């Protein structure tokens, strides 16, 4: 009886959370700043374009930052908050310490320009959401709709961070997404974000140096590819920032090559390679590998859904004056 009650309470809680989130997402719309900040779109496009041209790693950095923001407290800019002596913020959780600075920087640049044009109007959460979409499109990825009107969150705690890790078993990865209302297919589509960007050698060291007593290399890795990774990561102990491309074939293009790589053992992260080995996820990997349009359509829809997850509106949030601190 206790088990049934706990299950019922969980279902009730998840339903309530979904309804609350849906209610707040209905208060967002695409032309939210049409009157209050008419140059919003122009400023965002100029800022993201200039930043990406000067720092080509910006797109992947912003995309990862956006994921890490939305999957914790919802898409509320809580990842942008700096820690204080009294509180350790999300960005200082262990898994977030490797977030590239370019993702934070593009938000700061856009916020600075928008504060000059329309002070106190545009939230940092909206800036990150639109910057991510613009940068994905710049890299050749799909354009998708971003509704606006998010408020910035009022909470940012490292202790509340529970994000997917490359070492997690598939059941745990799926649980992280399904508990937030995402399907397995949406999880696979979102994983396609690894078509751009880098992974630190420290994340894959156990797969290419000390996998087991019988083999130093994870057998799910292509042998030649693994040897290349071993060579590229040779100095990772001296230089923990050493990184390798997530997509070895077309690292600077947002395309479906990531999915084409996986059956060939060319996935950098263990969690990437697991997608092609698990019967629950493999059909979607195969679909997106042969049909880029199907991937783009699915990725765009999943990003639209993700961008509405856990949004705050009205008194549940604020418009920060600075993105790295509460008002």
pLDDT one-digit tens code per residue, 119-139: 999 999 999 999 999 999 999
> Quick count: other Cβ atoms within 10 Å of Cβ 168?
16
Q: Contact, 139 vs 146, CB < 8 A?
A: no
Q: Is the pLDDT of residue 5 over 50?
A: no
Q: Is the pLDDT of residue 210 over 90?
A: no
Question: pLDDT tens digits for 66-80?
Answer: 999 999 999 999 999
Averaged confidence pLDDT in the chain: 93
Q: Is the pLDDT of residue 20 over 90?
A: no
Question: pLDDT tens digits for 160-196?
Answer: 999 999 999 999 999 999 999 999 999 999 999 999 9
273: tokens are: 């390679």
Sign of CA dihedral 59, 87, 16, 169: positive
> Quick count: other Cβ atoms within 10 Å of Cβ 102?
21
Amino acid 82: pLDDT:
98
Question: pLDDT tens digits for 57-66?
Answer: 999 999 999 9
Label residues 288-304 b or e (16+ Cβ within 10 Å = b).
Answer: bbeebeebbebbbbbbe
258: tokens are: 């990531």
| Residue of 9, 24, 68, 200 marked active site | 68
> Virtual CA dihedral for 134, 137, 141, 145, nearest 10 degrees?
60
Whether pTM > 0.85 for this model: the answer is yes
Q: Is the pLDDT of residue 298 over 60?
A: yes
Amino acid 208: pLDDT:
96
Q: How confident is the model at residue 3 (pLDDT cuts 50, 70, 90)?
A: very low
For residue 242, count CB atoms less than 10 angstroms from its CB and return exposed for 0-12, middle for 13-18, buried for 19 or more.
Answer: middle
> Virtual CA dihedral for 261, 134, 297, 269, nearest 10 degrees?
30
Residues 262-287: what's their mean pLDDT? Answer: 98
> Does the active-site annotation cover 200?
no
Amino acid 22: pLDDT:
53
- Closest of 123, 146, 126 to residue 136, by C-alpha: 146
Angle between helices 170-178 and 184-191 (to 10 degrees): 110
């Amino acid at each position: 009886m206790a088990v049934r009650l706990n299950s019922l309470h969980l279902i009730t809680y998840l339903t309530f959370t979904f309804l609350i989130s849906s209610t707040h997402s209905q208060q967002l719309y695409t032309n939210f700043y049409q009157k209050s900040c008419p140059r919003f779109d122009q400023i965002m496009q100029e800022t993201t374009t200039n930043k990406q041209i000067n720092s080509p790693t910006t797109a992947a950095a912003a995309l990862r930052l956006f994921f890490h923001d939305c999957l914790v407290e919802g898409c509320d800019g809580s990842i942008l908050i700096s820690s204080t002596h009294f509180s350790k913020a999300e960005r200082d959780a262990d898994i977030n310490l490797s977030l590239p600075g370019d993702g934070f920087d593009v938000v700061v640049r856009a916020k600075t320009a928008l504060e000059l044009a329309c002070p106190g109007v545009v939230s940092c959460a909206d800036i990150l959401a639109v910057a991510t979409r613009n940068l994905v499109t710049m890299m050749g990825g799909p354009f998708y709709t971003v509704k606006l009107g998010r408020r910035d969150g009022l909470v940012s705690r490292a202790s509340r961070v529970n994000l997917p890790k490359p070492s997690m078993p598939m059941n745990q990865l799926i649980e992280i997404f399904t508990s937030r209302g995402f399907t397995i297919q949406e999880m696979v589509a979102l994983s396609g974000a690894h078509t751009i960007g880098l992974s630190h050698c420290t994340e894959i060291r156990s797969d290419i140096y000390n996998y087991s007593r019988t083999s130093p290399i994870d057998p799910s890795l292509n042998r030649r590819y693994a040897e290349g990774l071993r060579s590229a990561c040779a100095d990772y102990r001296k230089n923990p920032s050493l990184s390798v491309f997530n997509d070895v074939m077309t690292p600077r293009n947002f395309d479906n090559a990531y999915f084409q790589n996986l059956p060939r053992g060319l996935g950098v992260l263990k969690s990437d390679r697991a997608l092609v080995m698990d019967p629950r996820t493999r059909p979607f990997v195969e679909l997106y590998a042969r049909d880029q349009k199907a991937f783009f359509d699915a990725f765009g829809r999943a990003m639209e859904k993700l961008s509405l997850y856990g949004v705050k509106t009205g008194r549940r949030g604020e418009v920060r004056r600075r993105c790295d601190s509460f008002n």
